[in-house]
Amino acid sequence: MITNHSVFVELLVKHGADPWIKADKKSIKKERKEAKKESYKRCSGCNKSGEKRCTGCFLEWYCSAECQKADWDTHKGECKARREEYVVVEFIGQGYGYFNWESGRVDSGKLSETVSSKAASSFVVKVQVSLGDMFGGDDVGDMMVYNKDRTVKGMISVSNAFGSKLDNIIRTKGFQGAKGYFYAMKKKNKTFVNQSILPPETW
């Protein structure tokens, strides 16, 4: 199935076909707008827009240290719970290349888990479920995962508890049931992914 898939991707590249991403840009923008209206980057203290993140869970936003301090008693318990949502992921290698929608080229299938030390505390990864079954096959295979600059990329198996949970989250709440964005972090050379799905990005 994997071989068929990469052949299919090669065909797409050759003919310049782009089955979904271009048409998506508008709806992604719309979804992001909606998300922003709700809680994304909203200060949990005063509800104005906030650009600083809680460094405990990386999920709560604040406009200032004052607001964060004032909110800590309320957030403390949730912060701990959210921290526990980060699950260590084991990357399995990628044996095949895949199409990079952004560059319009086929990326090498090389596994990579490097992230700059500055970004290591928290970064966003995109997880894409297997499209095998979307194109008429019966493949519900492994998920592709990478960060924006693709210094972290690999596959996550769906045959373990976390993998299948993530697959399910994306298929039910992800963008068009195909992809989802999640906070990730590196600790002691391991990659952790938070199970709370984020508003869609454009990459």
* Cβ nearer to Zn ion, comparing 45 with 163: 45
- The nearest distance, CB 36 to Zn ion, in angstroms, is 16
- 57 part of the interface to Zn ion, by CB under 5 A: yes
Angle among Cα 134, 137, 138 to the nearest 5 degrees reads 100
* Cβ nearer to Zn ion, comparing 56 with 199: 56
* Residue 192, both tokens: 């952790």
Which segment (78-86, 110-118, 124-132, 156-164) binds Zn ion by CB under 5 A?
Answer: 78-86
- The nearest distance, CB 120 to Zn ion, in angstroms, is 18
- Binds Zn ion (CB under 5 A): choice among 45, 132, 141, 174: 45
Neighbours of 1 (CB within 10 A): 13
Q: Which residues pair with 128 in a beta bridge?
A: 144, 179
Instruction: Output b/e per residue, 70-102; b: 16+ Cβ within 10 A.
Output: ebeeebeeebeebeeebeebebeebeeebbeee
* Cβ nearer to Zn ion, comparing 57 with 144: 57
In eight-state DSSP terms, residue 174 is S
- Binds Zn ion (CB under 5 A): choice among 6, 12, 41, 56: 56
Which segment (29-37, 76-84, 92-100, 180-188) binds Zn ion by CB under 5 A?
Answer: 76-84
Residues counted in the chain: 203
Which residue ranges make up the site for Zn ion (CB under 5 A)? 43, 45-46, 54, 56-57, 60, 63, 67, 79
